Structure 1
């Protein structure tokens, strides 16, 4: 047994996750009733990630800023530009794809108990209020905008603190990071529970009637992940982008696919950035920020489902309005929460651009929840893996200018 455990621990985490995934699928197909208890493993894993992520972000950002050396560049401007450009292009690709492959919906109920934002102003107001949220409440509710704002303020306030204080904060940061590594080691069991629950509870029959919609949604996300993002990365690093793109999809995208939460995947992304040898001062800020504003998958979802509603109602859309939708979907996506299904509640906001009534828009949201088993998983995988991808691209671009060799560590 000891030798078996040693061999298991020597396997890469991705291989162990694939084993857990396969076992989960087999259990869900063969003995779903008898194996129901494995669902708790998925819940525990996601719960542990969500619990540790806010504390990790708070201490990492505060420690990085308080110990930041004057004159040390962090590439944050470049990363934010990449986040915004990537999100806008994703929305634009979704609009173009929706014109090329128009989809009509069989509108269904299913989202009556949720309240969407009333407009862009309300989304921006909510973001501003999150910035000034009570720090304890922000940690409790995993409000990453609030956590970031307080961590940044305290980090700057502690810049002139005694070295012993900075060392203590750094030690806390290292301790939380170690806890995160312990949690991530349980990913294979967690993924097994999550995939079992997904297949045993939802199956694939409910998805068949929305096959064309899913093809357009997931096709756009794959196109962004495997065509648009590599082009953006190549323009920055002037090297073959696919080793980096595929590594981010493999090591970040897989766990994000099953946790369906950009926030819960923050610890995984932090670990991957460390493995890539990136600057901790940069990624400790860019990764939690990306979980909030880097939402290419959300932009795709908002654009495709909005235009599906437009097609269903027979509304004519001109090119100018389509471009406005691309911008609006990008803005809305930046306001989407980093939790499962967070982008769906912003669809009524985009629908309002075409004068679609809120009750009809909420039925579109209901369709989103039906296809969410695959849509939201793919969306989160794209969003979260791109956080690492663009953080790495910005830093590798800096290395290229400095003449440093760019290598993707396995």
Structure 2
């Protein structure tokens, strides 16, 4: 005799995860408004959720990439070259849009904020050196530090080494990947409670009062990110798949972007993105590598942040910028953004590097970094949402360009995916 499910369990199973997350979001806002002290304590749920995602993500990437390489058959396409091209094109386009927006809507800063005791990289060479040293780091340390470049390097190397292993060894690796995937799905099911806690605690502790003084700067930053997400990225995807890109774009923003907005961590959103790739029926051999790689180098949001804040400092100091320097800034922002995850502090700490193009002193540049931390409640959230959702978008676009049957899943209404 089949055991009857509890009504609450039936309700949870019958509603989509995104709908549950939206409910959690609304409840979090109401709780922060009605009882700020309770909202702060509920923040524990958000911390536990993000902690769970961050804990499982490195292991998930390591196991899935290794399993994908071990199971890869000779001649099987992985689509990595077109995906890398899309990552680079998307990041450069974001930097170029940010330059154009900064000239059309120049913003100035009140450079009085105290800078934190932070050490920015000295140049692009240092950023690239950090990335290279991350490749050859100790594998255990890479897993502990969530160094995804190192994790990818070791997973690929071990996968290649084990391709000629016995069938039983390959079966163990496959079973291990299935087990880790099950744990990830269990953690993701907790997203509504996690989002509730994150929203409630953020609004109760920070609010948006501190953001009002930087409304114009935030408008330029968020406007650029929305333009990339809703105009530029769809154009790139249309060029790739030659059909209406918006069902896929909206699906990625809804299923990946919402969660990334509140977790504010591309690494924490890796399991969410992989689950979405599975829903879209993309090849595991491809997304097992492209998603963690995208979380490391596909940084359109970071390129926008670096460019807009750097040019805001330029306008504040009354400096003029010619076209050649603006193009150079786009290139520097693109390269810097790709290395953002390899530098403590992420994209904000790469602002002094971009400011150095204009001869702006490090003292002033670090005040700009401090402004970035003040507006980080919105800036970092939107940046992560754009970065993370684009990882799935470009992976799906590259796969769909090779296999048109995959377009059927993305052609549905986003709520049905």
Correspondence for 1:299: 303
Shift of 1:339: 9.7
User: 2:366 is matched with which residue?
Assistant: 362
Distance 1:17 1:341 in 2: 28
Alignment equivalent of 1:346, drawn from 336, 347, 350 = 350
Question: Residue 106 and residue 404 in structure 1: after superposition, are their counterparts in 2 closer, same or farther (change >3 A)?
Answer: closer
* Mapping 1:6-405, distance limit 5 Å: 6-337=10-341, 342-400=346-404
- Whole-Å Cα distance in 1 between the matches of residues 324 and 169 of structure 2? 55
Contact 1:261 1:338 (C-alpha < 8 Å) held by counterparts: no
Residues 314 and 358 in structure 2, CA contact (< 8 A), matched pair in contact too: yes
Question: How far apart in 2 are the matches of 1:135 and 1:24?
Answer: 39
Alignment check: 8 A CA contact 2:39 2:197 kept: no
CA distance in 2, matches of 1:42, 1:339: 25
Equivalent residues of 1:145, 1:292 under 8 A apart: yes
Q: Aligned-pair RMSD on alpha carbons?
A: 1.4
- Contact kept in structure 2, 1:261 and 1:339, CA below 8 Å: no
Which 4+ runs in 1 deviate beyond 3 A?
338-341, 403-407
How far did residue 8 of structure 1 move?
2.3
Give unpaired runs (5+ residues) of structure 2.
none
1:338 deviation in Å? 8.0
Question: In the TM superposition, what is the alpha-carbon distance from 1:2 to its structure 2 partner?
Answer: 2.3
Residues 91 and 299 of structure 1 are in contact (CA less than 8 Å); yes or no, is this contact kept in structure 2?
yes
What is the deviation of 1:37? 1.9
Displacement of 1:179 in angstroms is 0.2
CA distance in 2, matches of 1:249, 1:339: 26
Q: Residue deviations 1:216-244, cap 9 Å, x none?
A: 00000000000000000000111100000
Distance in 2 (CA, whole Å) between partners of 1:295 and 1:35 is 32
Any idea what the Cα deviations from partners look like across 1:248-298, whole Å, max 9, x if unmatched? Answer: 000000000000010100000000000000000000000000000000000
Q: Which moved further from structure 2: 337-346 or 366-375?
A: 337-346
1:163-214 CA distances to partner (integer Å, 9 max, x unpaired)?
Answer: 1111111111110000000000000000001011111111111100000000
TM-score calculated relative to the size of structure 2: 0.96
How far is 1:91 from its partner?
0.3
Q: How many residues align?
A: 408
Instruction: Spell out, residue by residue over 1:363-404, the C-alpha distance to the aligned partner (whole angstroms, 9 max, x if none).
Output: 00000001110010000000000000000000000114xx77
Q: Is the contact made by 2:127 and 2:343 (CA closer than 8 Å) also made in structure 1? A: no
For structure 1, the 5+ residue unaligned runs are: none
Maintained 8 Å contact 1:23/1:192 = yes
Residues 120 and 352, structure 2, Cα contact 8 Å, conserved in 1 = yes
- 1:88/1:327 contact within 8 Å kept: yes
Q: Is the 8 A contact 1:260 1:339 kept in 2?
A: no
TM-score of the pair, normalised by structure 1: 0.97
